[in-house]
Amino acid sequence: MVSSLQFCGNIEEYFSQHCEKLVAFIVMPRLKNKGNLLRVYRHGKLTLEQKVWSSENIFLYYLSWYLFHIFLILKYFSRKENFAVYSPHPISFFAMSLQKLMRNITFVYFVGDFFPPTAFSLRLFEKLKKFYHDRIPYATYLSDIINKKMNGEILNTTYRKTVMWGVKPKHIQRKLPKNICSLLFVGLIKPGQGLESLLLFIKNHNDYKLNIIGNCGDDLYEMYKTTISDYGITERVFFPNKFFSDRELDSVSKACHIGIALYDTSNKSSTFYTDPGKVKAYTEMGLPVVMSNTSAIASYIKKFNAGKIVTSSEKSIEAALLAIKENYTHYKKGVEAFNNFFYYESYYKKKYIFLEKIYD
């Protein structure tokens, strides 16, 4: 898994409970990388958890990733075992023929993103993904848009199908918003996520607070901190610039009322094509969502009345937040309906039955 550990769709939990053996290799972002994670489960029980060395150096980052992948399949699986490598990155598929000589592997490609070819490096990466995708018998896609991009049409077969993120509601108790409404922003922080618009909104609306839980580079952090100071909203914006554990995040979310997910809505943004984990992280915590009209998940937020869809304008954000504040119980029920639809156990059971059939 490639993860910031903020949200992985409960994939690890699902497979740990439904596999005889699961080896989860969790690759953390290269920015401020302090090591990756290895977890081994046997019959649903965690038997090993340890940190794995990595590097911020781009060459060492990917080299260590691949070498450890090879080490894992050799150490934890014998020649007699049939097992699947389910990976979101083409690096896992390098030298597939050699890997299959060493072990009895079925490769399954988890295609979780699509990067519009706006730069030469992105064009190369997408070609590399397509090269392996067309040579691997099984693939899942995080959205119908990615599915169509990779296949020319939306496929829903035993071999290729869309599997979006599943959710596991946390049933966090919180009070209704009254005098002050607290907003939550979670995830890796980068340009194009509407934080500038959000900070300006907080400046002009004293009855809102903002919690920003995520990490960004030092230069970007200093820019945001300067903006927060210049706007005079230091007391109403919590921004520690670090990743939080699930327990820490749940603790912060208890005091929050609405999750915010503002994105660049252009089809040149990678968010347009995928199922952003941020939105489902909010619904898991029981938070109604205010989000931009992008990605496939926006239609589900509308369908279940689990939040409001907005533009980046201050008026649009203000109207959406006010509507949720005044009808909070209604939108909370919408979040529950949304979570029931995407509940990871029932949702994945239907979607991943093909993995069981591989070994029939």
pLDDT at 320: 97
Same structural domain for residues 276 and 351? no
Instruction: Find out whether 277 and 8 touch, Cβ atoms under 8 Å.
Output: yes
Overall domain count for the chain: 2
pLDDT at 6: 63
Residue that the structure tokens 């639809």 belong to: 341
| Cβ neighbours for 270, distance < 8 A, ≥ 6 positions apart | 113, 114, 115, 116
Same structural domain for residues 192 and 162? no
Helix (H, G, I), strand (E, B) or coil at 49: strand
350 belongs to a structural domain: yes
| pTM of the model as a whole | 0.91
- Mean pLDDT in order along the chain per 10 residues (360 residues): 80 95 93 88 97 94 97 96 95 97 96 91 95 96 97 95 96 84 89 84 95 88 94 95 84 93 88 92 96 93 97 92 95 97 97 83
Structural domain including 39 reads 11-166+344-358
CATH for 193: 3.40.50.2000
- DSSP assignments along 107-152, one per residue: EEEEE-------SHHHHHHHHHHHHHHTT-SEEEESSHHHHHHHHS
Same structural domain for residues 150 and 205? no
CATH for 87: 3.40.50
pLDDT at 5: 61
Task: For helices 144-151 and 120-133, give the axis angle rounded to 10 degrees.
Answer: 80
Buried residues in 243-278 as b, exposed as e (16+ CB within 10 A): bbeeeebeebbeebbbbbbbbbbeeebbbbbbbbbb
User: Which sign, positive or negative, has the C-alpha torsion 306, 309, 314, 319?
Assistant: negative
pLDDT at 175: 80
